[in-house]
Amino acid sequence: MNFSLPIRIPLLMARILVPKTQDIELFACDPVFKQRIRQTVDDVAVFLQDYFHADKMNIATLGNVVKQLHIHIIVRHHDDFAYPDPIWGKAGFKAYEEKEKQAIIQSLKDYLANR
């Protein structure tokens, strides 16, 4: 599975999974590949929930602008800047510092390697 880089929204963490496929809808994927995608999403969501101590996880295959299958996995906290509303359209996206980003990526890779 191909992973995008994590993004940080103030007080909110998110991950976008980008499966290597020409299909732009999850339902259109081959059933075996679709199951692999879903298992990867579940594994990443479990990791993020634990790593960031999430109150709630949001998972969505939104893609009206980018015509490529991608799955948003978003950590929510009851005190995040948008809760309980959707994060879409809210200002304040901020990139991780490189060292912090690499630590999260390595932790996720380690977690997935042991699954």
Q: Which two tokens stand for residue 96?
A: 């991780």
> Using the 8-state DSSP alphabet, how is residue 29 labeled?
S
What predicted TM-score, i.e. pTM, was given to this entire model?
0.82
Span 9-27, pLDDT tens digits: 444 566 778 888 889 999 9
* pLDDT band with cut points at 50, 70 and 90 for residue 2: low
Please report which helix (H) or strand (E) contains residue 34, including its range: helix 31-51
pLDDT for the residue numbered 93: 61
What is the widest separation between alpha-carbon atoms in the chain? 39
Domains and CATH numbers, the chain: 1-80 (3.30.428.10)
Task: State the average pLDDT over residues 100-104.
Answer: 84
Span 62-78, pLDDT tens digits: 777 778 888 888 888 89
Q: Which two tokens stand for residue 81?
A: 């800047």
Query: Is the N-terminal amide bond of 10 cis, ω within 30° of 0?
Result: no
